[in-house]
Amino acid sequence: MSEFPIVQPAKLTQIQQRVRQQNVLPTAVKSRNLGSIIFGSDVAIAQTTLGNGNQAVISWTLTQNDKFELIGLDYITVYVGSVATTNILPGGSAIDETQWQVIGPFYDWENWSETNNQNDTFAGYQDFVTLYILNISAGSQDLIIYNKWKYVSPRENL
Amino acid sequence: MTRIIQQQIVPTQIKGRHLGEVIYIDNIQEGTVSVFNLPDATSVLVTYTLTNNFLEEVIGVNYLSVYLNSVDPTNRIPGGSAIDETDYILIIPQYSYSRWELVEFVPYKEIAQLFLQNASGGNIDLVFKNKWKYMSQRKIAKDV
């Protein structure tokens, strides 16, 4: 007689089956899957030149092309002259912030509203962010502006 | 139909089908404030609060615009063609740590603020528009 029990092969009914979409989900399913619904957009780079008294209104739009809802965070950095940490507006060691007026960035109700003719039916699949910059007295300067969205959505398609 | 157990393999489409039901858009809110020119005084601090009345967690972004006198793109601060931005000091920190701390950091609220000072724009009326987009387990979240 053997010291060890004979292991029986697993029955087919014990194998986990992929559930159907119609099945009722456990409450924890959403949180376990959240990691695959947070995405990042490509980096976008814009450049403009501002002299004293010149201003720029920069707007960014994130659109989910399949019209799935999304919520996005817009990461933005503005460089003066060239891309270097010393040239970041605000905070770079080579920057005098009193030479600039910066408002925002902020989620822009006006731009979001305009896409719907200011009706109260705003698109859930778009996000809008705006940044205002006025060159008060920095002289003629190139601004290089980087941005990249992080967003949560059912689908990645931008 | 029985609820499936957590160990079962779910189809990839489940994520998308369920996530669409947790991102919502709140109603438009509008307010008007008169702000006087210096030296009379002259600034306004606007607080926007989003509250889920079921006390369920919420995370939201606050869309806002400020207009001089009337809601028109030319009157928008900043960026409107009729606006001289140097007449105003506008600070938009968006999320307020201190206001959230006052409510003991409850996860069912979002609190954002906007500060605007009339530096030299004369006696003016400001119109504020805002609208939250948020994620929560249920749609019922009320601006208060």
Provide the ipTM.
0.81
Q: How far apart are CA B36 and CA A98, in angstroms?
A: 25
Above 50 in pLDDT, residue B143? no
Task: With CA atoms as reference, report the closest residue to B93 among B67, B66, B111.
Answer: B111
Chain A residues within 8 A of B23 when measuring between CB atoms: 69-71, 124, 152
**DSSP-derived secondary structure letter, B9:** B
Q: Is A56 on the interface with B (CB under 8 A)?
A: no
Query: Rounded to a whole number, what is the distance in Å from the CA of B142 to chain A's nearest CA?
Result: 16
CB within 8 Å of B141: residues ≥ 6 apart: B24, B26, B50, B51, B52, B53, B58, B60, B132, B134
* Average pLDDT, integer, range B68-77: 93
Closest residue in A to B65 (Cα) is A109
Answer whether A67's CB lies under 8 Å from B16's CB.
Answer: no
Answer whether A38's CB lies under 8 Å from A106's CB.
Answer: no
How many CB atoms lie under 10 A from the CB of residue B10? 20
Chain B residues within 8 A of A103 when measuring between CB atoms: 78, 85, 90, 92
User: If you compute the radius of gyration of chain B from its CA atoms, what whole number of angstroms results?
Assistant: 20
Give residue A9's pLDDT: 62
Above 60 in pLDDT, residue B11? no
Nearest neighbour of B15 by CB, restricted to A22, A33, A114: A33
Chain B residues within 8 A of A33 when measuring between CB atoms: 10, 14-15
Nearest neighbour of B79 by CB, restricted to A37, A70, A132: A132
Q: How far apart are CA A114 and CA A92, in angstroms?
A: 35
Confidence of residue A157 (pLDDT cuts 50, 70, 90): confident
CB-based contacts of B102-110 (< 8 A; 24+ apart in sequence): B106/B55, B107/B57, B107/B58, B108/B51, B108/B52, B108/B54, B108/B55, B108/B56, B108/B57, B108/B58, B109/B49, B109/B50, B109/B51, B109/B52, B109/B58, B110/B49, B110/B50, B110/B58, B110/B59, B110/B60, B110/B62, B110/B134
* Across A10-19, A49-58, A62-71, B25-34, least confident range: A10-19
Chain A residues 57-96 within an 8 A CB cutoff of chain B: 57, 68-73
Confidence of residue B8 (pLDDT cuts 50, 70, 90): low
Nearest neighbour of A71 by CB, restricted to B2, B65, B133: B133
Q: How far apart are CA B123 and CA B42, in angstroms?
A: 9
| Per-residue model confidence as pLDDT tens digits over A93-150 | 999 999 999 999 999 999 998 776 555 568 899 999 999 999 999 999 999 999 999 9
Query: Rounded to a whole number, what is the distance in Å from the CA of A18 to chain B's nearest CA?
Result: 5
Confidence of residue A38 (pLDDT cuts 50, 70, 90): confident
Above 90 in pLDDT, residue B39? no
Q: How far apart are CA A78 and CA B62, in angstroms?
A: 22
Confidence of residue B124 (pLDDT cuts 50, 70, 90): confident
Chain A residues within 8 A of B17 when measuring between CB atoms: 21, 154
